[in-house]
Amino acid sequence: MKKNGIKGIILVLGVIAFVLGTTVVFSEPGSEEDPLVSLSYLEKRIEQLKYYVDERLDKINTGSGNNVSNNLEVVEIMPSQSIIGKNGTEIILRSGRAKIIAGKLGGLSDVTEGKDLGMDKLVPPNHLLIVPRDDNRGVLAITEAIFLVRGEYEIK
């Protein structure tokens, strides 16, 4: 009798497993009756993404009167003119002579030599300089000078 009860339980469990297995195998996720993601949800998320991208592009393209470029831009300035960079602006002196305009918390980062250039130091030619803070740091031309600049800057 004990063996028949165990066989019965195993048979019932086998039938239940078979029915559940066929249900899983033959179900169609993603059909019209059982969508994975609804179309309205997808359209809403796409609109949010479009709005976000357009907003970011507008911020990049509007420079509030300042020059903004993601590429290296050739900038020519005359003696006693200066290029004042915002934080993250990259400056490379290509020709001429110029000196550093430092802020209260330091000068420009000379990435080429790995040092900080302080106030009134001469700008070494062909060195990559980075403006670390937005506190009126930049370069002042002693002679006519040509720079490569990437980022946001003003000519004063």
- DSSP letters, 21-36, are HHHHHH--TTSSSS-S
Q: 20-51 pLDDT, tens per residue?
A: 666 555 556 566 666 677 778 888 889 998 88
First-last CA distance in the chain: 102
* CATH fold for the domain made of 73-155: Jelly Rolls (2.60.120)
pLDDT value of position 139: 96
Q: 62-115 pLDDT, tens per residue?
A: 654 455 557 889 999 999 999 999 989 999 999 999 999 998 888 999 999 989
Distances in Å between the Cα of 54 and the Cα atoms of 49, 59, 61 are 9, 9, 10
> Which three-class secondary structure state does DSSP give residue 15?
helix
The structure tokens listed for 147 are 């720079």
